[in-house]
Amino acid sequence: MRFRLRRIHLIIDRLNPDESFTFIDEIPDINIRLSFVRNLRISGSQAYEEDSEQNEIGREEIEEETFFAKPSPLCPSRLRSPLYESKEPPQAPEEILQMKIKYQETWVGIAKFISRLSCLSDLVYDCMTQVPSCLLSALRDNCPDARLHVYTFSLRSLYQPRNESHDISPEEYALATSPNLYGLYMKYCSYDGDGNIGYNEEAIIQMIRGLAPRLSYVGMAGQPVGGTIELAHAIQLHRQSGKPKWKGFFINGGQVRDNMQGKGSLHTLYLNGASELRIHQWSDYTDFNKLTKLHLGFTIIDAVQALAIIAEGGGLSSLSSLALMPKARNLEQAIAADESVCRLLQAMKPLQGLELEGEVGDSAWRAVIDQHGNSLRELRFAPAPEYYDNIEAFVLSCGRIRLLSGICLNLGKLELRIPRTRGDRDEVGIYQILGQLPRLKRISLVLDCSVIDPPEVRHGESFIEMGGWELPVNTFRAALINTAMDLALAQSIFDTIAAARAYTGGSSLVDLKLKIYGAGNFGRSSLDSEPRIPLEWVGQSWFVRRNSRNGGLVVQKIKSFVDDLDVLKDDFFERDDLRAVWMDVWPGSPGDRRNQWHSFPLATD
């Protein structure tokens, strides 16, 4: 039997230039086999396994599992530097030279290998080092139709001293203008740690406008920079005279296609925030009518209103996926936020994917259901946990969830922030209603345990000292019970949803994420760390999945920062009031309290 390679993943740090690809020619009919390769991924030492279920099954704890995540190249912890450069200790000059020679030989070998992939359709570049010129040439000359996806895009030569502007490097200009460049993710900063001025965003705009002829999707996220003396000086100069205007790719000779004035044709745009001005600017950079996916991160209410006007004027006509985090700067904006989001949603054609987190309420919720309910495949709706005194908190009650289940019948993936109410009939009712959605396979529930309006301590009533204010003991005790989430309760919630699904028919529930939110939130009063820790300890988050191989359930705890704390190890805290409440809820012998607790079962009819 002949094997056919469709996907290949090359990990650069594991390749020896003396041996790379020599084994390939020993395989019979290798040229025929390589003609089936469609996808090539090139990464550095960090390897990413595609079969996440195989990696995670058998582990009791996993890292955060995110159903609605920004693209991984834009995640904060993924890359170590805004320029994607390694911060290894300095090496001797001869060692640096030898390393450069080694990498050059490796890349030449990879370029020759690419030239043999006659039917290559996509190449994903995921290395911290810059895309080498030989790779760009191999694609251009041998795979002209292949699409290049650069997950670590950065034009390093466009980080320049304030008074020493210079041309972009020829190699990086070749990347920016590559006829194969199809998509990129970039983390950038206006000033780096050395005080250099960054012009990557300005360059990207020129690329979108036509300099990169096939560029179709762009993801951009600001990269925080650690404090340095040089950076502080650069910021001081910025406050005094602003950021110097970019002079272009080539300062002294110019280029025919250096300054583009056209409008791009992106189908996907990821930004990590948007203001009204930014919306208007980007609508000039690229044709919003050609966008199919727009993810904006924190979005000021003025920007939401600007998008609504664009949509009402016939813009955003091709959009199928939208993600916003409406953010109010003041009470006036907070009051207008819900109606502004509602106005935008009503002006848009039915969406298949929608993510809303932040200042959203009943009007936005009804617009989601009425305007987009029948078409939605994916929905994330997470009302803001911050509350203004003049605005009633929006809660996804059982009745509102029932409205969702009656209309949004095509949902396959869903995330909601719902109230946790000690597993009472209302909470169980929400789980049962969610189980009635016939196509829902993946659910993420953020269980809000916040106590919005805690009662005051009455005369003679026992209380917990919370650091400048007092909380009734019974309120703290109820919060402890409500927050507790162990493996048994996580599986019970999964079973409750799955049982409702089995009764109504439809696809089997595959994944359930349960995340406790608001442990230790009592109104807007601050809470000392000591009373908060027991609440956060028992407020564990879980991921329940159905094993595709045997149909059994795999229940895994999602790691938390409190997992490494030892405060519960030696008979709890020194504070008698906290120990007394804990012992009242979970009596037991002195010693290690970390596992001497349990959650309480769901209500039954």
Within 10 angstroms of residue 203's Cβ, the number of other Cβ atoms is: 23
Higher pLDDT, 354 or 469: 354
pLDDT of residue 568: 55
Question: What are the structure tokens assigned to 220, written together?
Answer: 């951009």
Percent of the chain with pLDDT over 90: 57
pLDDT of residue 18: 56
pLDDT of residue 253: 62
Q: Are 250 and 276 in contact (CB under 8 A)?
A: no
CATH number for the domain whose boundaries are 1-45+70-256? 3.80.10
Q: Are 171 and 133 in contact (CB under 8 A)?
A: yes
Taking only the tens place, the pLDDT of each residue in 577-590 is 888 898 899 987 76
User: What letters, b where the CB count within 10 A reaches 16 and e where it falls short, cover 51-67?
Assistant: eeeeebeeeeebeebee
**What is the rounded distance in angstroms from the CA atom of residue 494 to the CA atom of residue 509?**
8
Higher pLDDT, 576 or 553: 553
Phi, psi (rounded to 5 degrees) for 54: -65, -35
Tell me the Cα Rg of the chain.
28
Supply the angle between the helices 425-434 and 487-504 in degrees, to the nearest 10.
50
Residue type, 188: Y
**Cross-strand pairs, 532:** none
- The pLDDT-based confidence of 392 (bands split at 50, 70, 90) is confident
- The tokens 């290894």 sit on which residue? 88
For the whole model, what pTM was predicted? 0.88
Residue type, 457: V
**What is the rounded distance in angstroms from the CA atom of residue 134 to the CA atom of residue 176?**
15
**What is the rounded distance in angstroms from the CA atom of residue 151 to the CA atom of residue 74?**
9
- By DSSP bridging, strand 273-274 and strand 268-270 are unpaired
Task: Locate all alpha helices (DSSP H) within 25-142, ordered by sequence.
Answer: 30-34, 52-56, 93-114, 133-142
pLDDT of residue 76: 61
Higher pLDDT, 348 or 251: 348
Kindly give, in sequence order, each residue whose CB lies less than 8 Å from that of residue 356, ignoring residues fewer than 6 positions away: 323, 324, 325, 326, 341, 364, 368, 380, 381, 382
The 3-state DSSP class for residue 341 equals helix
Q: With the CA atoms of 151, 157, 163 and 165 taken in that order, what torsion angle do they form, in degrees rounded to the nearest 10? A: -110
Q: Are 218 and 171 in contact (CB under 8 A)?
A: no
Half-sphere exposure of 174 (CA within 13 A, CB side): 14
The 3-state DSSP class for residue 374 equals coil
264 closest CA partner among 182, 331, 187, 342: 182
Taking only the tens place, the pLDDT of each residue in 42-92 is 998 654 444 343 344 444 555 555 667 667 777 765 444 434 444 455 566
Half-sphere exposure of 317 (CA within 13 A, CB side): 6
Q: With the CA atoms of 338, 339, 340 and 345 taken in that order, what torsion angle do they form, in degrees rounded to the nearest 10? A: 90
Q: What angle do CA 344, 345, 349 make, to 5 degrees?
A: 110
Half-sphere exposure of 199 (CA within 13 A, CB side): 21
Where along the chain do its domains lie?
Answer: 1-45+70-256, 395-605
How much is the mean pLDDT over the chain?
86
Taking only the tens place, the pLDDT of each residue in 115-161 is 999 899 999 999 988 999 999 999 999 999 999 999 999 999 999 99
Q: Are 394 and 361 in contact (CB under 8 A)?
A: yes
Q: Are 278 and 302 in contact (CB under 8 A)?
A: no
Taking only the tens place, the pLDDT of each residue in 482-532 is 999 999 999 999 999 999 988 877 778 889 999 999 998 887 665 667 888
Query: Rounded to a whole number, what is the largest CA-CA distance in the chain?
Result: 88
pLDDT of residue 379: 98
Taking only the tens place, the pLDDT of each residue in 293-308 is 999 999 999 999 999 9
pLDDT of residue 509: 85
- The pLDDT-based confidence of 36 (bands split at 50, 70, 90) is confident
**What is the rounded distance in angstroms from the CA atom of residue 605 to the CA atom of residue 603?**
7
Within 10 angstroms of residue 193's Cβ, the number of other Cβ atoms is: 17
Q: Has residue 15 got a pLDDT over 90? A: no
- The pLDDT-based confidence of 559 (bands split at 50, 70, 90) is confident
